[in-house]
């Protein structure tokens, strides 16, 4: 059990590190795969940026939740979203993703009916 959790954490950290590096160089990666025991999530980063025109600041922010500015270094989410974070509802990257992504998808469902709003809409079992 501990090995599975450690594997997921390492996988997420590597994925987020790659993501942060790629985003800092421009528009970021086309897609990002987040590994989860509930099923991997393949996030279409470019679609959210271009087709849906979602500003970077909707997901990215600076230290202390300061406003995102273009060209700002994107840190790994767990730099702040970790066990030391006082807000226990956001003390893991997964909690922050769920709070932001699920809320946005529910708001956008009427305008974008293909936006997944159920767990298995994003989390795909292998």
CATH of domain 2-124: 3.90.10.10
pLDDT at 121: 92
The residue behind tokens 């790994």 is: 76
Q: 102 — phi, psi (to 5°)?
A: -65, -40
Q: How many residues does the chain have?
A: 126
Domain range summary for the chain, segments of one domain joined by +: 2-124
Secondary structure tally for the chain: helices H, strands E: 5, 3
**Distance (Å, whole) CA 74 – CA 91:** 18
Residue among 22, 16, 31 nearest 80 (CA): 16
The pLDDT tens digits of the residues spanning 2-61 come to: 565 544 544 555 455 444 444 433 478 899 999 899 999 999 999 999 988 888 888 888
């Amino acid at each position: 059990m501990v090995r599975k959790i450690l594997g997921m954490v390492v996988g997420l950290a590597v994925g987020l590190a790659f993501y942060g590096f790629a985003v800092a160089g421009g528009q970021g990666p086309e897609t990002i795969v987040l590994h989860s025991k509930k099923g991997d999530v393949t996030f279409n980063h470019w679609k959210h940026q271009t087709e849906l025109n979602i500003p970077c600041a909707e997901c990215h922010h600076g230290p202390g939740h300061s406003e995102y500015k273009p060209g700002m270094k994107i840190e790994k989410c767990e730099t702040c979203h970790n066990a030391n974070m006082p807000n226990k509802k956001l003390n893991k990257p997964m909690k922050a993703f769920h709070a932001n992504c699920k809320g946005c998808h529910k708001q956008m469902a009427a305008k974008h009916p293909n936006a997944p709003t159920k767990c298995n809409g994003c989390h795909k079992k292998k």
